[in-house]
Amino acid sequence: MQSVPIVLCWTYIVLPREDLGMPLTLERGALDAEVINEAGRIDLQVLARVLDLSVPELAAIVHASPRTVNKNPDAKSLQPAAQKLVRFMNDLTTALGERRFAIYWLNTPQRELKDETPLAWMRKGRLDEVADYVGAFIRMQPD
Amino acid sequence: MKREARKIIETLGQPYRGSFFRNVALQFQESPLDAIGSYEIGGRYNKKGGFQILYAAADLDTALLETGAMLRAPDGSLISVKKKPFVTITIEVDLQNVADLTDPTVRDRLGLREDDLYVVWRDIVAKGEVPVTHRLGNIAHAAGIEALVTPSEKNRGKTNIGIIDTGTGANLLIGSTVKIHDPQGFNAGVSTTITGKKRR
């Protein structure tokens, strides 16, 4: 009997473009397979490990308590912020070539962020601002 | 104060012609003059979700520095950064009502110092405040200024331009144009010229 190779092909995921109500086509990102669990949700304990963050650090980034993240790491309420973080880390990983460089970037002071690190900004609750900054970098938007 | 500044900036508009450089990621090659990114993300002179500004630089080094394709090392040397593919286009600008903020007399009239234009605007926005550059952009937009010529924060002593509201063309006057120099290579149907539609 001849075997038939099965090729798994990831298609594009169409995500809503919140600001314009237009579809935004994104490729499946590098982190997704590791951090998205069987239920189709991001597991924040796994995400913290993958991004070399502590749970309290990641909890601050997604505006939750460490207790919430430890108790219910894939809570629905945590998903929007976690998706935003995963999305731009995917973009950065692609842009910089490897995940370790994206993680290094998170810990590197940026002149555009008042010489603070993106991680420090996110810990202060500025996830959206860092996401925009990454978006500007990816799109080659002038500062 | 805002009304006063608007009245002042209305008097500062001058005709302006020149060439500028703009880096466009290859994924956006079908819309090289589109400034939707500046609308979605915001920029130094326009707030996120306000209006579009098409940013470009007066020289290639500045364009590369402004778009993160090059960084300046502490010793002043330039470092190349690995980037996704992009194209550099030259934009020919022929406008009638431009405020040149590189001119000290223009800044004096507005009560601004050059350093005011170098604010870390993202930090100010994150604090829920409005950076002076956004106030300036709003006032220029409302006053019908077509573009701001500005000093580059990333490459001091060099110049950028921010062409206001290119998305709708609402601020560009009839007779004003923004066009790509020698658009050979772009696909047919790609918009390579913006022409003004507004009566003075």
* Residue B103 in this model has a pLDDT that exceeds 80: yes
Q: How many domains does chain B have?
A: 1
What pairs with residue B160 in β-bridges?
Answer: B57, B150
ipTM of the complex: 0.87
Which domain does A17 fall in, by range? Answer: 13-139
Tell me how far apart the alpha carbons of residues B19 and B176 are, in angstroms, rounded to a whole number.
Answer: 14
pLDDT of residue A26: 47
Contacts of B44 in chain A (CB under 8 A): 142-143
Q: Over pLDDT 70: what percentage of chain B?
A: 98
3-state secondary structure of B71: strand
* Residue A16 in this model has a pLDDT that exceeds 60: no
Is A129 in Cβ contact with B41 (below 8 Å)? no
Say if strands B53-57 and B78-80 run parallel, antiparallel, or are unpaired: unpaired
Per-residue pLDDT tens for A43-72?
A: 999 999 999 999 999 999 999 999 999 999
Q: Is residue A39 part of a domain?
A: yes
CA distance A111 to chain B (A): 8
For residue A94, what is the nearest residue in chain B, using CA coordinates?
Answer: B84
Q: Is residue A7 part of a domain?
A: no
Tell me how far apart the alpha carbons of residues B152 and B57 are, in angstroms, rounded to a whole number.
Answer: 8
Say how many C-beta atoms besides its own lie within 10 A of residue A16's C-beta.
10
Q: Which residues contact A126 (CB under 8 A, 6 or more apart)?
A: B126
Per-residue pLDDT tens for A99-139?
A: 999 999 999 999 999 999 999 999 999 999 999 999 999 88
Q: Which two tokens stand for residue B78?
A: 């330039």
* Residue B51 in this model has a pLDDT that exceeds 60: yes
Q: Is residue A25 part of a domain?
A: yes
Q: Is residue A6 part of a domain?
A: no
For residue A91, what is the nearest residue in chain B, using CA coordinates?
Answer: B84
Least CB-CB distance to B122: which of A19, A96, A112? A112
Tell me how far apart the alpha carbons of residues B90 and B23 are, in angstroms, rounded to a whole number.
Answer: 9
Is B66 in Cβ contact with A143 (below 8 Å)? yes
- Interface size, chain A vs chain B, as Cβ–Cβ contacts under 8 Å: 70
Say how many C-beta atoms besides its own lie within 10 A of residue A71's C-beta.
9
CA distance B89 to chain A (A): 13
For residue A101, what is the nearest residue in chain B, using CA coordinates?
Answer: B82
Write the Ramachandran bin of B151: left for phi over 0, alpha for psi from -120 to 50, otherwise beta: beta
Q: Is residue A2 part of a domain?
A: no
Q: Is residue B9 part of a domain?
A: yes
Using an 8 Å Cβ cutoff, are A25 and A12 in contact?
A: yes
Which domain does B141 fall in, by range? Answer: 2-195
Tell me how far apart the alpha carbons of residues A98 and B140 are, in angstroms, rounded to a whole number.
Answer: 42
Q: Which residues contact A11 (CB under 8 A, 6 or more apart)?
A: none
Tell me how far apart the alpha carbons of residues A122 and A49 are, in angstroms, rounded to a whole number.
Answer: 17
C-alpha pair distances (Å), A25 with each of A62, A82, A127: 24, 19, 22
Q: Is residue A119 part of a domain?
A: yes
Per-residue pLDDT tens for B56-75?
A: 999 999 999 999 999 888 88
pLDDT of residue A88: 94
Say if strands B147-151 and B86-100 run parallel, antiparallel, or are unpaired: parallel
pTM: 0.86
Q: Is residue A1 part of a domain?
A: no
Q: What is the DSSP letter of A116?
A: B
**CB-count exposure of residue B170 (10 Å: 0-12, 13-18, 19+):** middle
Tell me how far apart the alpha carbons of residues B19 and A143 are, in angstroms, rounded to a whole number.
Answer: 19
Q: What is the mean pLDDT of residues B94-102?
A: 97
Q: Which two tokens stand for residue B35?
A: 């400034």
Tell me the one-letter amino acid at A120.
A
Is A96 in Cβ contact with B82 (below 8 Å)? yes
SS3 labels along A26-63? ECCCCCHHHHECCCCCECHHHHHHHCCCCHHHHHHHCC
pLDDT of residue A6: 40
CA distance A142 to chain B (A): 5
Using an 8 Å Cβ cutoff, are B83 and A140 in contact?
A: yes
Query: Which residues of chain B from 22 to 41 reach within 8 Å of chain A, CB to CB?
Result: 23-25, 28, 37-38, 40-41
Q: Is residue B200 part of a domain?
A: no
Q: Is residue A68 part of a domain?
A: yes
Is B23 in Cβ contact with A140 (below 8 Å)? yes
Tell me how far apart the alpha carbons of residues A111 and B30 are, in angstroms, rounded to a whole number.
Answer: 31
pLDDT of residue A28: 62
Q: Which residues contact B132 (CB under 8 A, 6 or more apart)?
A: B112, B116, B117, B119
Q: How many domains does chain A have?
A: 1
The C-alpha angle A116, B44, B2, rounded to 5 degrees, equals 120
Is B55 in Cβ contact with A142 (below 8 Å)? yes
Query: Which residues of chain B from 82 to 121 reach within 8 Å of chain A, CB to CB?
Result: 82-84, 86, 120
Per-residue pLDDT tens for B137-195?
A: 999 999 999 999 999 999 999 999 999 988 776 789 999 999 999 999 999 999 999 99
For residue A129, what is the nearest residue in chain B, using CA coordinates?
Answer: B126
Tell me how far apart the alpha carbons of residues A48 and A56 are, in angstroms, rounded to a whole number.
Answer: 9
Is B48 in Cβ contact with A132 (below 8 Å)? yes
